[in-house]
Copies of this chain bind each other. A is one copy, B any other.
């Protein structure tokens, strides 16, 4: 590879948008766990045409590019390329919202558009359409999260399932439009995903076969009525009955959206940081202290949230059935709508000075969940990244910079009580063994699948924790796989899962070899790194000898 030549050509194209100073490169190479990369440059094209030109330069000089949209893939490796020696292709400048169709319910946008940008855009236009937001940062990229197959909280929670008409730049710099988009003036391009002939959208999700530079995202018409519900179970043993009671409601469409259920640790970490004083600095949190917090703040062993959407009568009927189905299975079921939230707010506002800080935070959590159930981005859940940090949470949260420790592991389970119990028990046991709190949540992703999100949250500033967290992650992932539970998404900590030789991986490799013979696009991403070790060694040879090299 000829890095100098590539940087020179990129600089000719992008001027100051080529970053090579060591400090910025080092910041970019930092994640929320002990993984780093040698990133020789960051380039920030401002248009699709510039993305194409950057790829051509990369091909000419053999410098691979790793595309990121906002780079906020926290818990999965932030913006780290899979291999050392890849330059970052940062798409934040492609941040246009190109089209909004109120009648047919969609927006077309570029990868630099953030959740909050889309939200404000819709609000400014008085749109009657809702986006779906993840609980991740408001500054995370809509397209980036979609390509990773992330999920949110409304009936449009399946982000990739509600995306259409991708514009993709291939590794050779060519552009394709998926679905009907490849035909001139095809009216249904943003409306009907597969188009005609082989449908390739899925090939570009969780992959390294192309860069999405534009996408249509379907938006949900605001329903006549939305009513959130919150419930809690007081005993761990309530979990399987709860899941089995919710499944028929989800399968029958009475619950149209992803219900989220968090354990006690999850709720506590959303409300406050680790109670260092109370525990005298001991970790992990003892059951006693946790029980005390449950009593004080009113949450249970498992705590669920979701919402009902529709006409007033539809919502009333769904409420009736939900109430009946959960009777005897939950300790408390509360419904909440705008009026009730405003009431709480009105009571709470004037009393702010007198209310305990943790209660205020608990109300903040409820409000943020209620917002998410309507697609309103929030930074509230991000606070939990600071769970084990000793200092206060800064206003401008940046878990990478602040050395928050966070590893996410998200297996998919059958939507069945027994599977939820198996996976959660294994996760809780393993995390506690390694000295971490088992912060767990379960999401009714689809009518048939349950997503379990396991957070390993720690303080990178504490010696030995980085290594312990990684061991914990690996032991748990292998344990889950041995029981048949595989993750829906991988990060820098788990990309090794793709290393195994099998016919599926060979098939993808054949495609990759055909369309990216120079291995210019995100080598190792969702393909496993092992077989690329020699390739990587060639990329990085001599890199550490450059002045100010971060390698």
Query: A488 contacts the other chain (Cβ, under 8 Å)?
Result: yes
Query: A448 contacts the other chain (Cβ, under 8 Å)?
Result: yes
Contact B194 A198 (CB under 8 A): no
Name the distance in Å between A47's Cβ and chain B's nearest Cβ: 18
Which residues of chain B have C-beta atoms less than 8 A from A429's C-beta? none
Contact B176 A507 (CB under 8 A): yes
Query: A174 contacts the other chain (Cβ, under 8 Å)?
Result: yes
Which residues of chain B have C-beta atoms less than 8 A from A425's C-beta? none
From A54-62, A109-117, A511-519, the one touching the partner chain is: A511-519
Which residues of chain B have C-beta atoms less than 8 A from A321's C-beta? 311
Contact B187 A485 (CB under 8 A): yes
Q: Render A251-288 as a binary contact track against B, CB cut-off 8 A, 1 for contact.
A: 11110100000000000000000000000000000000
Which residues of chain B have C-beta atoms less than 8 A from A184's C-beta? 484
Contact B503 A414 (CB under 8 A): no
Contact A188 B106 (CB under 8 A): no
Contact B508 A515 (CB under 8 A): no
Name the distance in Å between A374's Cβ and chain B's nearest Cβ: 15
Which residues of chain B have C-beta atoms less than 8 A from A432's C-beta? none
Contact A201 B202 (CB under 8 A): yes
Name the distance in Å between A486's Cβ and chain B's nearest Cβ: 5
Name the distance in Å between A480's Cβ and chain B's nearest Cβ: 10
Query: A77 contacts the other chain (Cβ, under 8 Å)?
Result: no
Contact B200 A202 (CB under 8 A): yes
Q: Render A405-427 as a binary contact track against B, CB cut-off 8 A, 1 for contact.
A: 00000001111100100000000
Q: Render A140-158 as a binary contact track against B, CB cut-off 8 A, 1 for contact.
A: 0000000001000001000
Query: A354 contacts the other chain (Cβ, under 8 Å)?
Result: no
- Interchain residue pairs with CB less than 8 A apart (18): A104-B415, A104-B448, A178-B504, A180-B412, A182-B503, A187-B413, A187-B484, A187-B485, A188-B449, A188-B485, A191-B414, A191-B415, A194-B205, A196-B487, A196-B497, A197-B490, A199-B202, A313-B317
The list of the 7 closest CB pairs from A to B, nearest first, reads: A199-B202, A198-B207, A514-B514, A192-B449, A182-B504, A191-B448, A187-B484
A186 touches which of B175, B183, B484 (Cβ 8 Å): B484
CA distance A201 to B203 in the complex (A): 9
Which residues of chain B have C-beta atoms less than 8 A from A515's C-beta? 507, 510-511
Which residues of chain B have C-beta atoms less than 8 A from A506's C-beta? 174
Query: A434 contacts the other chain (Cβ, under 8 Å)?
Result: no
A446 touches which of B192, B197, B310 (Cβ 8 Å): B192
Contacts beyond the supplied A180-B412, A218-B448: 9 A-B pairs with Cβ under 8 Å: A186-B484, A188-B449, A191-B412, A191-B415, A194-B205, A197-B508, A198-B209, A200-B203, A313-B313
A199 touches which of B197, B205, B447, B497 (Cβ 8 Å): B205
Contact B207 A197 (CB under 8 A): yes
Residue of B nearest to A223 (CB): B252
Which residues of chain B have C-beta atoms less than 8 A from A510's C-beta? 514-515
CA distance A515 to B507 in the complex (A): 8
Query: A88 contacts the other chain (Cβ, under 8 Å)?
Result: no
Name the distance in Å between A455's Cβ and chain B's nearest Cβ: 19
Contact B200 A221 (CB under 8 A): no
Contact A511 B508 (CB under 8 A): no
Query: A458 contacts the other chain (Cβ, under 8 Å)?
Result: no
Residue of B nearest to A190 (CB): B448
CA distance A336 to B267 in the complex (A): 48
Which residues of chain B have C-beta atoms less than 8 A from A202's C-beta? 194, 198-203
* Most chain B CB neighbours (cut-off 10 Å) among A177, A200, A248, A498: A200
Q: Render A2-22 as a binary contact track against B, CB cut-off 8 A, 1 for contact.
A: 000000000000000000000
CA distance A316 to B173 in the complex (A): 55
CA distance A186 to B485 in the complex (A): 6
Contact A449 B198 (CB under 8 A): no
